[in-house]
Structure 1
């Protein structure tokens, strides 16, 4: 992937450390230093974090950026401009000020800090993708540029499930382990514990209703998805009346048999005994059992695996084409062709970013369109959620049960550089597109498969949604409200899994020549476990959320203040009777680090969000849509978000279904 690339990681943020590990996994030669000064040893790229550096380090970084001799990637909390610039904001403080914290927890409880440094991890992933893109530009066009990545932008970009309500002047608060647009979707008690059950389609609902055997589930109150979301409290009570008659294992196996995503909550310390983790990461499991979880345990888990597209591939293929636009305005991936067969978040997120970076992305949708198109709110028959995740793509409708439509897909793949999909493991192969078939169609294809548990799995064929992966990857164990495990409000496993795939794909496109096509495997459980192990071995500062008259404020622990001390300061300041703004001012005057916990709907009035994150795009009919800029900014060949796709173009309409 990045063999021969030399990277220097020089910064105190966790995102810099994490990016170094990701670059190492991609084959780059990485040097990590915290020295006061650095020498020039022929690095292709230097990753820094200027906002937490010394004045002398910031001066060196400014000189490096001005010189234009390297790719310089600067990961900061909020960037160099804006109302929050110049402050060493922590991951938790960014979670609070963007509304990310307010989406995590139970509706009846307080906002909850995500138990892993989510914004640092997201920034590391995006920084790596940005650097790989810039290195490709440097090799093909001789352009070297600076990249700015902000934790604020990464946090806001993760709110695609919640922002649609804000766009329509609605509110979106904490939903615990539920999904704001799908039901049933929650953690349910069993005979011996808890199980996460997630449904998103009418077919999955019908299957759950059938096996549960609870007569009240046939009530008209649950006839449609909108009805089920409206009556979710009663629905969850009835589902739990069924799950409490089964053990967690029995309920999980039953859900797997009917094709419904489900799974138990796994503790981080118990990952070594979790069947799929142990299968895929035997060395890491043994190390955890022998030595516990240390600072570097996460390094034994890879967030992506790469292999040749086929085991018997041989023969040199042409070098990466240099027939790209020569002007500086062309995107880093100009000339790259991508086919996406995706739905919901992971593969669509990858396709969105590849398109923003200049690739031509063709999204394949089923005849009725992707399910997420119909979610509310939206406009013109398309949801804001779908628009946020699918900008700048050409959308086509294909029914891959039909040979004629499969033939059309083969034509697309023959000239493509990348195929990315997040269907259930084995689904693409059943349609006639296994790795051998793909290699026969296009021997230089980069094929990226994203799934919950990977293609080599203890659970072959088991479906998985974000919430199940959060539970089985350790994220929920680390994120707790009053001691009870709770999922990240944002689709954290989906988003981080998509980001890992994005970096792996872009890194593969950097190679000057490839002997054969490649297969990239992403297991979202791998990524979640990587994050959970890092967080356990490298704990972040703790803090407390304190109630105010109009919401909550986040108080951060430091060398002078432990949690109990912070609570005492909050009581002394009478925060419960103050607005968030006044509480923050009072606490800061007392020497306490405090920030207001924003609500997502308040972001649309936040100056930094409006200036640095929110943008506007048009669809083919001229309608305007709120969209999000990417959180990595390349100075010379920027990624751009421009258009929202309309209804998918129907290219084939065969009458006969070929049996599978």
Structure 2
């Protein structure tokens, strides 16, 4: 992976510290410094210029101009943002990006996500961009600068909320519910809470059957639309059942009938959570013995990597030594860091599609395999021309094909794709691909040098081999919901936090594998979203953020945070003294500033599409094959000499029929 790469972390942001841990796990040698006094004998220098003193900023600018190192600068906002160099905290970025407005209950205030989501996301994206830049330097001798913004990372996570904003609709906070599925919520049990998530009529019938509550047969609940409309009454009846059981009993019942469910695990209780303890025995023992401190998170790796199969045979290296001066830089810049890499993606919704989107933006050729009727998310609303904005946001720059992997001919076509691919990424249930005939040994025979990345809720070696997992369940079982609370009640991160962070972990692991200086055999990359969520939760629990509160104004809320570390009751008193409740957000921010309290407005997602900074730094436009324009989101990292580009929205998946047609179309793809 990144063995032999020398990295200097020089800055104070959490993203640098988190990134250093990730880069070390990928094999890099990482050192920390408070000043550049050692001559910079490094390949990569990671900085955070917006929270650096002016003297350090001058040195950073000189390093960027010299072009001798890969320099990655992680800042709160971009160079073209009106708030440049304001050094916002993670919570303030959550507020101004719209993230905070998506989290919490409909009748309550916006809630700060209990982990530093923007810093975590920036660390993951920065590491992926660094790995891409290392690959470019090794292949072409080109060093370049990378800029990553917390604001861009936070805004790019809004893929489930931006579609409504594009349609000029306001998406309300939904707490632990799903806006289009029911029952889907956190329910009280005899000894705690359980998350139950249903997404099909079959799952609804099974839940109704095991619950044994006669009122669930009411005609109001006969359709999904009816259940969503009467969700308050429905949830009360479901909770009538769950409160007769322990959380463990309820979870096991749901697992037995194939319904996603799980407990809301306290972060301090992760060491006793069966799957966490199975996968991370040493970390669990450390927590039992010492509790959670600032370094505990480092005991939980967010990806595992091993040989693809026992049948692997050495093959030529995929990443040669630098060839400085032998490449046309304009051609390299246009092609992207991953030019020449072929990726097959088998996934849906968020995780694997997010990985494929970024690999394609970095220049890889990505072929997305969809079921015969296309990915379900294509038909979600809102959208245009029969395709949802959500699907477009997550699947730019891919070639899409439809295969029925239950048919032998379609399996043969997939095998042909994989034979010449560099990467396979999928987020099917563990074992699903193997049942179709594509287990690790088979993949090793098809392509001994394939990087196969599997993303799942609980991992391949799991205490829950039959338990389905949705983002909400993983948030609950990974400690995220315990840390994110509204008035004492646990609440999920509004965006699909576990899915997104899991996808980012996979992206980094894949790009780092592709950057390896002498990759000679296939690799299996395993991502457990619960591992990633627990890593984030343990960092947050061991590195507490400053206190803050959301305060109501006449047109929304503002987020208050004090440089003096004021307790929330003192912040509330100052907000009351400033009469925030009778002011607009802008007026309240100004009034609080005069009182010595830092405050920022809590932006609504629908407002972002009219925000000049969002339009300049985050939003872009792509076209589809018919020439129609689509709103899309740029990647939140900028590589100065081999930029990542987001350009095209795919059309309907191509249906390939017949062996000859398959072969000719594969030749065209290749």
- Normalising by the smaller structure, the TM-score range is over 0.9
1:530 alignment partner, one of 517, 530, 535 = 535
Question: In the alignment, which of 389, 396, 403 is matched to residue 394 of structure 2?
Answer: 389
* Alpha-carbon shift at residue 643 of structure 1 (Å): 1.0
Residues 318-372 of structure 1 show CA distances to partners (whole Å, capped at 9, x for unaligned) of 4337999843221111110000111111111000100111111111111121111
Contact 2:420/2:447 (<8 A) preserved: yes
Task: Tell me the SS of whatever aligns to 1:505.
Answer: helix
Question: What's 2:68 paired with?
Answer: 69
1:379, distance to aligned residue in structure 2 (A): 1.5
Q: Is the 8 A contact 2:128 2:511 kept in 1?
A: yes
Shift of 1:390: 0.8
Show the 5 A alignment for 1:225-236: 225-236=224-235
Residue 443 of structure 2 is matched in structure 1 by 438
1:541 to 540, 546, 556: 546
Out of 408, 419, 427, the position equivalent to 1:422 is: 427
> Normalised by the size of structure 1, how large is the TM-score?
0.96
Gaps of at least 5 residues in structure 1 are 655-660
> Does the residue aligned with 1:72 lie in a helix, a strand or coil?
strand
* Aligned residues of 1:444 and 1:516 also touching (Cα < 8 A): yes
1:275 correspondence with 2:274: yes
Alignment of 1:261-660 (within 5 A): 261-320=260-319, 326-559=331-564, 561-652=566-657
Deviating more after overlay: 236-245 vs 480-489: 236-245
User: d(CA) in 1 for partners of 2:569 and 2:490?
Assistant: 22
Contact 2:10 2:35 in 1 (8 A): no
For residues 256 and 425 of structure 1, what CA distance do their matches in structure 2 show? 15
Q: Which moved more, 1:364-373 or 1:146-155?
A: 364-373
Gaps of 5+ in 2: 660-670
Aligned to 2:120: 121
> What is the CA distance between 1:258 and its match in structure 2?
2.0
Please tell me whether the aligned partners of residues 543 and 555 of structure 1 are also in contact (alpha carbons under 8 angstroms).
yes
- What CA distance in whole angstroms lies between the structure 2 residues aligned with 1:373 and 1:82? 33
Cα deviation, 1:360-400, whole Å, max 9, x if unaligned, reads: 11111111211111221111221111111111111111111
SS at match of 1:109: coil
Q: What are the residue-to-residue correspondences of 1:182-261 with 2, within 5 Å?
A: 182-214=181-213, 216-217=215-216, 221-261=220-260
**Structure 2 counterparts to residues 164-175 of structure 1, below 5 A:** 164-175=163-174
Deviation at residue 199 of structure 1 after TM alignment = 2.3
- 1:621 Cα deviation (Å)? 1.9
Taking a change above 3 Å as real, the CA distance of residues 643 and 225 of structure 1, as seen in their structure-2 partners, is: farther
Q: Which moved more, 1:266-275 or 1:613-622?
A: 613-622
Contact 1:173 1:599 in 2 (8 A): no
Separation in structure 2 between the aligned mates of residue 48 and residue 287 of structure 1, nearest angstrom: 31
Offset of residue 653 of structure 1: 7.9
| 1:36-51 equivalence runs, <5 A | 36-51=35-50
Contact kept in structure 2, 1:552 and 1:596, CA below 8 Å: yes
Deviation at 1:215, TM superposition (A): 5.0
Q: Distance in 2 between matches of 1:47 and 1:191?
A: 49
How far, CA to CA, are the matches of 1:606 and 1:448 in structure 2?
37
Compared CA separation, residues 602 and 241, structure 1 to 2 (3 A): same
| Deviations 1:548-599, CA, capped at 9 Å, x for gaps | 1111110003326321211111111111111111111100111110011111
Residues 629 and 202 of structure 1: is their aligned pair in 2 closer, same or farther, counting only changes over 3 Å?
A: farther
Structure 1 equivalent of residue 662 of structure 2: none
Deviation at 1:141, TM superposition (A): 1.6
Aligned to 2:8: 8
In 2, distance between residues paired with 1:386 and 1:231?
Answer: 28
The alpha carbon displacement at 1:217 in A equals: 4.3
- For the structure 1 residues 560 and 30, does the alpha-carbon distance in structure 2 shift closer, same or farther, using more than 3 Å as the test? closer
What is the rounded CA distance, in whole Å, between the counterparts of 1:640 and 1:181 in structure 2?
Answer: 32
Cα contact 1:346–1:422 (8 A) shared by 2: yes
SS at match of 2:335: coil
**Compared with structure 1, are the counterparts of its residues 392 and 210 closer, same or farther at alpha carbon in structure 2 (3 Å cutoff)?**
farther
Alignment check: 8 A CA contact 1:181 1:375 kept: no
1:213: how far off? 4.3
Q: Secondary structure at the match of 2:453?
A: strand
Partners of 2:481 and 2:348 in 1: CA distance? 24
Q: Distance in 1 between matches of 2:599 and 2:503?
A: 32
In 2, the alpha carbon distance for the partners of 1:621 and 1:453 equals 41
> 2:186 and 2:562 mapped to 1: Cα distance?
31
SS of the residue 2:62 aligns to: helix
Q: Secondary structure at the match of 1:47?
A: strand
How far has the Cα of 1:135 moved from its partner?
0.9
Residue 98 of structure 1: aligned partner? 97
For 1:419 and 1:107, how far apart are their aligned partners in 2?
40
Question: How many residues of Structure 1 are paired with residues of Structure 2 in the alignment?
Answer: 653
Distance, in Å, in 1 between the alignment partners of 2:333 and 2:123 is 26
Contact 2:271 2:284 in 1 (8 A): yes
| 1:618 Cα deviation after fit | 1.2
Per-residue deviation, 1:236 = 2.2
In 1, the alpha carbon distance for the partners of 2:274 and 2:615 equals 45
